[in-house]
Amino acid sequence: MALYADSLALNLLRKNFNISNDDNKPIIALAGNPNTGKSTIFNGLTGLRQHTGNWPGKTVGRAEGYFKYKEEEFLIIDLPGTYSLLANSTEELIARDFICFARPDLTLVVADATNLERNLNLVLQVLELSTNTILVLNLLDEARRKGIKIDVKKLEACLQVPVIPAVAREGLGLEEIKKTCYQISKEKIKIKGFKITYSREIEEKIEELIPLLKRKLPFLQKRINWRWLALRLLEGDKTILASINTYYPIYQERVNIFQKGEVQLDGFNQVWLK
Ligand SMILES: Nc1nc2c(ncn2[C@@H]2O[C@H](COP(=O)(O)OP(=O)(O)O)[C@@H](O)[C@H]2O)c(=O)[nH]1
Ligand SMILES: [Mg+2]
């Protein structure tokens, strides 16, 4: 019963993102830096089974579609191309809020294999928010042409997520993407996901903050990654509280205690809490 109520609540919340998913298909978010081949992958997976429009209330384009593997059908949403999830632009805000609040079952992050170092920034940020992440290493033909060799197994071991090599323009890797989505959502294979450990000072603050957040914002239990939320607050990110207000409007009073500074988190974020 609780589970049923939870899925109803989640479906209701997902309507904010224009998602109708009353038949509870697994939802896949497609993230990545611009020009990594995200649209090529999206088109390759969905074919003609797609629909385009704008994100609600925004002039940013949005595409959603379906793909099937065996008997299972997946709903895939193409997020705006971004370099980070820090909510510094409308695109970043959309991508972050989608992963944080619409809670996709899986996030596929597409990375440009010719520029892995830069692309890993977003991969790590997505992983920090949700371990249900798969890395698609695209443009491998370009990488090969440039003499770049990537040890996929090693990368997989480091990040502790599935890494799928792809040349999307030639359709290579798409079958593996579908199969991996299926295995993870259907066979409930757990993705461990690399966890960044910060300096002792920051880790102590996180430890201190999490119980306080759980106490003050109990409605977010099982609905948010507490460690990630603590990190955002420690870095003084105001946009996350605004987004919680947007997606959980009936709890605004509780969120406001942080905004008004009634609850002191001290240290890093004193400045903006005042
Ligand atoms: N060489 C090569 N080009 C690709 C590959 N995947 C996509 N592209 C090309 O890269 C460009 C950007 O792709 P697009 O899907 O629009 O990227 P997006 O901005 O991430 O959506 C297009 O010209 C694609 O044809 C690939 O695996 N190899
Ligand atoms: Mg695109």
pLDDT at 3: 67
Q: Which ligand is nearest to the CA of 41?
A: 1
pLDDT at 186: 87
pLDDT at 265: 59
- Joined together, the tokens standing for residue 189 give 């294979």
CA distance 65 to 172: 19
Kindly give, in sequence order, each residue whose CB lies less than 8 Å from that of residue 133, ignoring residues fewer than 6 positions away.
106, 107, 108, 109, 123, 126, 127, 161, 191, 193
Task: Give pLDDT tens digits for 62-91.
Answer: 999 999 999 999 999 999 999 999 989 999
Spatial CA neighbour of 131 closest among 153, 159, 173:
159
pLDDT at 38: 98
Q: Is 65 in the pocket of ligand 1 (CB under 6 A)?
A: no
- Angle 57-60-64 from CA coordinates, rounded to 5°: 95
pLDDT at 274: 35
Q: Are 36 and 19 in contact (CB under 8 A)?
A: no
Kindly give, in sequence order, each residue whose CB lies less than 8 Å from that of residue 161, ignoring residues fewer than 6 positions away.
127, 131, 133, 134, 135, 191, 192, 193, 194
Domain spans in the chain, listed from the N-terminal domain onward: 2-186, 200-269
Q: Are 139 and 38 in contact (CB under 8 A)?
A: no
CA distance 185 to 24: 12
pLDDT at 22: 78
The one-digit pLDDT tens for each residue of the chain (274 residues) are: 456 778 888 988 999 999 988 788 999 999 999 999 999 999 999 998 999 999 999 999 999 999 999 999 999 999 999 999 998 999 999 999 999 999 999 999 999 999 999 999 999 999 999 999 999 999 999 999 999 999 999 999 999 999 999 999 999 999 999 999 999 998 888 999 999 999 999 999 999 999 999 998 999 999 999 999 999 998 888 899 999 999 998 888 788 777 766 665 554 444 333 3
Q: Which of 30, 35, 50, 177 to mutate to test the pocket of ligand 1 (most atoms within 8 A of CB)?
A: 35
- Residue whose CA is at the smallest distance from ligand 1 atom 4: 169
pLDDT at 75: 97
What CATH number is given for 2-186 in this structure? 3.40.50.300
Tell how far the Cα of 39 is from the centroid of ligand 1, in angstroms. Answer: 7
pLDDT at 71: 93
* DSSP 8-state assignment for residue 10: H
Q: Is 37 in the pocket of ligand 1 (CB under 6 A)?
A: yes
Question: Cα 218 from chain centroid?
Answer: 22
Task: Give pLDDT tens digits for 198-232.
Answer: 999 999 999 999 999 999 899 999 999 999 999 99
Kindly give, in sequence order, each residue whose CB lies less than 8 Å from that of residue 130, ignoring residues fewer than 6 positions away.
99, 103, 104, 107, 225
Q: Give one DSSP letter per residue of 162-203, joined into a string.
A: -EEE-BGGGTBTHHHHHHHHHHHHHS-PPP--------HHHH
